[in-house]
């Protein structure tokens, strides 16, 4: 697509059609929420939500017809978000794999930093 082209116009029926599909998906979401499918609950809910978001982005926001660079930017932002979430889940989902984590309740009133007895040492994490 050239830089100064006129805006891309879709026929009205495409908008109405996509709108109808979005409504149908909303109804499916409501129905699916009534039935307990175990671990599939979240999978179905997220799959429907993702499909709907993509339909909006591709057609209502014209990503499908626009400069492919814009699609690349959109896709890369999704990619980096995936990296952030999935690598973080490598941690949060697999804690205690090797060494068992002893489950101790954390005291609400635990003293984290006591001015009177401290010698001012902070031993938090690494920063290289």
The least distance separating other proteins from the CB of residue 39, rounded to whole angstroms, comes to 21
Q: How far apart are CA 63 and CA 81, in angstroms?
A: 19
Q: Does 97 bind other proteins (CB under 8 A)?
A: yes
* Beta carbon nearer to other proteins, 27 or 112: 112
Q: Contacts with other proteins in 50-79 (CB under 8 A)?
A: 76-77
Of 24, 21, 25, nearest to 48 by C-alpha is 25
Q: Near other proteins by CB under 8 A, which window of 27-35, 37-45, 48-56, 87-95?
A: 87-95
Q: What Å distances lie between residue 16 and 20, 66, 79, CA to CA?
A: 6, 20, 30
Question: Least distance (Å) from other proteins to the CB of residue 2?
Answer: 14
Task: Give the side-chain half-sphere CA count within 13 A for 42.
Answer: 1
Rounded CA gap, 61 and 48, in Å?
18
- Listed ranges 17-25, 35-43, 48-56, 81-89: which one lies at the site for other proteins (CB under 8 A): 81-89
| Near other proteins by CB under 8 A: residue from 4, 94, 114, 116 | 94
**Helix (H, G, I), strand (E, B), or coil: what is residue 82?**
helix
Q: What is the CA radius of gyration of the chain?
A: 24
For binding to other proteins (CB under 8 A), which residues are involved? 76-77, 80, 83-84, 87-88, 90-99, 106-108, 110, 112-113, 115, 118-128
């Amino acid at each position: 697509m050239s830089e100064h082209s006129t805006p891309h116009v879709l026929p009205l029926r495409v908008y109405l059609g996509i709108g109808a599909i979005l409504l149908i998906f909303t109804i499916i979401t409501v129905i699916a929420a009534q039935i307990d499918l175990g671990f599939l609950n979240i999978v179905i809910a997220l799959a429907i939500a993702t499909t709907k978001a993509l339909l909006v982005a591709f057609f209502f926001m014209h990503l499908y017809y626009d400069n492919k660079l814009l699609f690349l930017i959109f896709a890369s932002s999704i990619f980096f978000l995936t990296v952030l979430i999935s690598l973080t889940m490598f941690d949060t989902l697999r804690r205690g794999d090797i060494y068992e984590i002893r489950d101790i309740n954390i005291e609400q009133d635990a003293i984290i930093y006591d001015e009177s007895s401290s010698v001012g040492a902070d031993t938090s994490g690494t920063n290289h």
